Structure 1
Amino acid sequence: MLLRESDAGPAIVLCNTCRFDAEASEAPDGRRGGARFVAAVRRAAAAAVEEGEPPVAVEEMPCLFACSRHCTAHLRAPGKIGYVLGGFAPTDEDAQALVAFFRLYRDSAEGRVPFRQWPEGIKGHFIVRLPPPGHVVA
């Protein structure tokens, strides 16, 4: 079966098969960039919890079909605008920026985070925004 059930709450969904970088599919250790980014995002999410923040749901799946912008993430939450972001490096620094933005996104009313609040490491990574089912952006 192509689909499997997951929690319907706010989540970061990551591609675990993304390239390592523009030249190589795998890192020198043989792991795909997506798998390395998933691990880095999970570390950043765990660190946020250790600092007293609510848990950040991190899920993974193969291929988000944004291959030209490898290390791709989909931010989703019920009733909120969703976002697909990419072009990250599979590093702790980029993972921390993504988790920091997700926390702002999760805590927003409709998924809109004012630009002035965006972490520097998130700028330039947006690919698309998606309206929630039954809505369009006004």
Structure 2
Amino acid sequence: MLRPASSGASVVVCSTCRLSADRREDDEGRRGGALLAAAMRDLQKAEQRYAAIAVEEMPCLFSCSRHCAVHIRAAGKIGYVLGDFPPDEGSARAVLDYAVHHAASEHGQVRYADWPEGVKGHFIVRIPPEGGVVA
């Protein structure tokens, strides 16, 4: 079942993602994806520059071999799925920093020089926007 989501720039976090490659959840029963989303929301409260990026959760992005997966998207732009993040503030900051650059870009392509170090090596797939493909 679908529910309404942001039509603007957003990061969709897999709320059911594993904590790590070898652990399903932490000692309190929390999944890694839920912890990563919470870390992103904490940063949004603390830093205004992240306010324009919606952080949304969805159970299972079907990237189970790449825990703590996120989908960075915005209307009319190329989207990206990234994974293999530890669910901590550093990962949350790197994803949100990339999402800010993505939102500011014309087509969703961010110059490599602008990639935060924390997202390099985490890209899984890029997704063409509805009605278009990359030329």
Into which bin does the TM-score normalised by the smaller protein fall? over 0.9
Distance 1:46 1:121 in 2: 21
Q: Superposed, which structure 2 residues align to 1:59-78 within 5 Å?
A: 59-78=56-75
Runs of 4+ in 1 over 3 A off after TM superposition: none
Distance 2:128 2:87 in 1: 27
Distance 2:51 2:61 in 1: 26
Structure 1-normalised TM-score?
A: 0.93
**Structure 1: any 5+ residue segments left out of the alignment?**
none
Distance 2:50 2:17 in 1: 28
CA shift at 1:24, angstroms?
1.1
Give the aligned length.
Answer: 135
One-letter amino acid of the counterpart of residue 69, structure 2: T
One-letter amino acid of the counterpart of residue 24, structure 2: S
Whether contact under 8 Å (2:10, 2:74) holds in the other structure is yes
Q: Deviations over 1:51-80 (max 9, x none)?
A: x55432110010000011110100110110
Aligned to 1:37, the other structure's residue is in SS state: helix
Distance 1:102 1:68 in 2: 23
Whether contact under 8 Å (1:18, 1:67) holds in the other structure is yes
